């Protein structure tokens, strides 16, 4: 059997008064037609990184809504995860050549894990490339299979993509964070765009009294009488921790009391983590104002929450990014963010809300200094960012998108939306928007389109054909 991951019990009722009411109502109605449906989420690691963060909340909430959901992880040893990390990097566009033995290791692992998947489900969501090969050995049966890709695959390394592509042939649907991420020759007919979301009632995001937050950080040696910037990320070259240290050093010339915290988690499926960790340690040597923490040295969800709440600025200087949950997590606490202008980050900070998007070490340093020097303005940006997260990036919205997809895939039970809660979606980013209240709309012929932000409307107007060719389906 594949390994089950234990999740607790959760209730959708906990989100009342936090997430938009229309979304909670939509959830309840969608779930009515999916009672008892068996759902499996499969990925490669139960901790570390955004996918496990999401599943820890999604799976118990599906159960609360009356579906029967499991979370399982595939088996794999370190050499397998080195192959899949090379695939991950190649899919994000890195130079990467996979030798024959690596290709064979991927195939053998997929075949072995397919044998271990004994149960039958109505819907199977397979996350990222690591477990993607299971379907071709397992066969679909009566289940609907969805490949949920969390990474930026808009410009993949051709060899790596050429290897993975055939494994995707039989999927019923593929889900990406942004439309631009779907490779043009994707062999899956149905494409859904569903950005991730954060869980506002998880220990990482629930409101933490300031006195406790201060105690948590004081306990691990962070001085709270000095300005603090923090990046919270796996130790991964794409997250550019060394670039963050360089930007901090430049900013420190202007603000000598500045401290930097780099908080990084190690994931089961990320063997590069230790190498990057050593590099970061070497880079920060002899600077007592740089604090480096990991999940293995006791910095868990509560501490991450405290860092995101008490830092003056949160940095996420990614060079390539799928979504970057950490950005929404920080904004949810009203903390301004300086982040790489890449992947799903601009979606979270659209129209200038939340902080600054940057493209270089120099821009990153200048933005940190500007925000530290004007805390009132920084606070306003943070407040706007929090509202954007509330509208678009809280977990119930993600669940609603996924339930809608399941209903659409269940051909024998076609979805008929009752008119009073018809779900409107931004045609560019795919997010649910409140069709009654959003002011950001445009009319094309006899059709009206609503958007989550001005950026999306501008992109739509720049190329309307691209976004109107049957929504959600690449032909
Ligand atoms: N995270 C954590 N501890 C750490 C570093 C990261 O709990 O030391 C969490 C972080 O809060 C976020 C997730 O790991 O929830 C990272 O997700 P993101 O989408 O930002 O990046 P990914 O790792 O999936 O590329």
Decide which of 445 and 36 is more confident.
36
pTM metric for this prediction? 0.89
Residue from 53, 54, 295 whose mutation best tests the ligand 1 pocket (most atoms within 8 A of CB)? 53
Q: Are residues 163 and 15 in the same domain?
A: yes
Q: Provide the greatest CA pair distance for the chain.
A: 65
Cα(325) to ligand 1 centroid in Å equals 7
Q: Of 160, 193, 226, which closes a domain? A: 193
Residue 180's closest CA among 470, 388, 461, 456?
456
Instruction: Let me know if residue 26 belongs to a domain.
Output: yes
pLDDT digits (tens, 9 = 90+) for 307-360: 999 999 999 999 999 999 999 999 999 999 999 999 999 999 998 999 999 999
Would you place residue 411 in the very low, low, confident or very high pLDDT band (cuts 50, 70, 90)? low
Instruction: Let me know if residue 46 belongs to a domain.
Output: yes
For the chain, percent of residues with pLDDT exceeding 70 = 95
Average pLDDT of the chain? 92
pLDDT of residue 270: 85
Instruction: Let me know if residue 378 belongs to a domain.
Output: yes
Residues in the chain: 475
Q: Are residues 136 and 270 in the same domain?
A: no
Cα(446) to ligand 1 centroid in Å equals 43
Contact yes or no for 101/83 (Cβ under 8 A): no
What residues are in contact with ligand 1 under a 6 Å CB criterion? 49-50, 53, 204, 232-234, 263-265, 295, 299, 304, 323-326, 329
Q: Two tokens at 301?
A: 């969800």
Instruction: Let me know if residue 110 belongs to a domain.
Output: yes
Name the domain count of the chain. 3
Strand-pair partners of 418:
none
Would you place residue 472 in the very low, low, confident or very high pLDDT band (cuts 50, 70, 90)? very low
**Helices of type H across 65-133:** 78-91, 100-116
Q: Are residues 362 and 452 in the same domain?
A: no
Q: Are residues 218 and 182 in the same domain?
A: no
Q: Are residues 46 and 135 in the same domain?
A: yes
Contact yes or no for 83/299 (Cβ under 8 A): no
Q: Are residues 322 and 278 in the same domain?
A: yes
Instruction: Let me know if residue 370 belongs to a domain.
Output: yes
Instruction: Let me know if residue 408 belongs to a domain.
Output: no
Residue 239 alpha carbon, nearest atom of ligand 1: 25
Query: Which domain CATH number covers 324?
Result: 3.40.50.2000
Q: Are residues 252 and 143 in the same domain?
A: no
Indicate which residue's Cα is closest to atom 17 of ligand 1. Answer: 50
Q: Of 126, 161, 193, which closes a domain? A: 193
Mean pLDDT of 283-311: 94
Q: Are residues 250 and 281 in the same domain?
A: yes
Strand-pair partners of 228:
259
Residue from 44, 47, 49 whose mutation best tests the ligand 1 pocket (most atoms within 8 A of CB)? 49
Domain of 254 in residue numbering reads as: 210-392
């Amino acid at each position: 059997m594949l390994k089950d991951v234990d999740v607790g019990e959760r209730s959708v009722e906990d989100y009342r008064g936090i997430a938009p009411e229309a979304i909670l109502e939509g959830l309840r109605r969608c779930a009515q037609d999916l009672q008892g449906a068996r759902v499996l989420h499969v990925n490669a690691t139960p901790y570390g990184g955004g996918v496990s963060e999401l599943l820890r909340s999604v799976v118990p909430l599906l159960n609360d809504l009356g579906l029967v959901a499991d979370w399982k992880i595939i088996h794999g040893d370190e050499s397998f995860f080195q192959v899949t990390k090379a695939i991950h990097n190649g899919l994000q566009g890195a130079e990467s050549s996979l030798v024959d033995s690596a290709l064979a290791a991927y195939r053998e692992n997929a075949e072995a894990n397919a044998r271990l998947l004994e149960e039958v489900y109505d819907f199977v969501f397979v996350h990222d490339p690591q477990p993607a090969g299971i379907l071709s050995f397992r066969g679909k049966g009566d289940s609907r299979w969805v490949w949920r890709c969390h990474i930026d695959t808009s410009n993949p390394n051709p060899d790596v993509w050429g290897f993975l592509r055939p494994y995707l042939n039989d999927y019923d649907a593929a889900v990406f964070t942004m439309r631009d991420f779907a490779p043009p020759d994707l062999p899956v007919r149905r494409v859904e765009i569903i950005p991730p979301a954060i869980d506002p009632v998880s220990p990482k995001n629930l409101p933490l009294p300031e006195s406790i937050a201060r105690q948590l950080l004081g306990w691990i040696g962070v001085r709270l009488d000095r300005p603090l910037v923090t990046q919270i990320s796996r130790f991964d070259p794409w997250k550019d921790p060394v670039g963050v240290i360089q930007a901090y050093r430049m900013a420190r010339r202007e603000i000598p009391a500045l401290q930097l915290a780099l908080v990084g988690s190690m994931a089961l499926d990320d063997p590069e983590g230790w190498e990057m960790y050593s590099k970061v340690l070497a880079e920060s040597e002899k600077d007592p104002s740089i604090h480096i923490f990991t999940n293995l040295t006791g910095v868990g969800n509560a501490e991450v929450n405290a860092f995101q709440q008490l830092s003056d600025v949160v940095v996420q200087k990614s060079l390539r990014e799928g979504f970057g949950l950490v950005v929404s997590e920080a904004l949810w606490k009203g903390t301004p963010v300086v982040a790489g202008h890449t992947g799903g980050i601009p979606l979270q900070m659209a129209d200038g809300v939340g902080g600054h998007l940057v493209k270089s070490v120099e821009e990153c340093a200048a933005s940190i200094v500007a925000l530290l020097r004007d805390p009132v303005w920084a606070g306003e940006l943070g407040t706007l960012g929090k509202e954007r997260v509330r509208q678009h990036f809280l977990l119930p919205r993600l669940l609603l998108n996924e339930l809608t997809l399941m209903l659409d895939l269940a051909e024998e039970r076609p979805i008929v939306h009752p008119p009073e809660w018809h779900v409107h979606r931004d045609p560019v980013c795919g997010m649910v928007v409140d069709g009654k209240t959003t002011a950001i709309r445009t009319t094309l012929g006899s059709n009206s389109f609503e958007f989550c932000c001005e950026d999306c409307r501008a992109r739509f107007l720049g190329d309307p054909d691209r976004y109107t060719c049957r929504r959600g389906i690449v032909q």
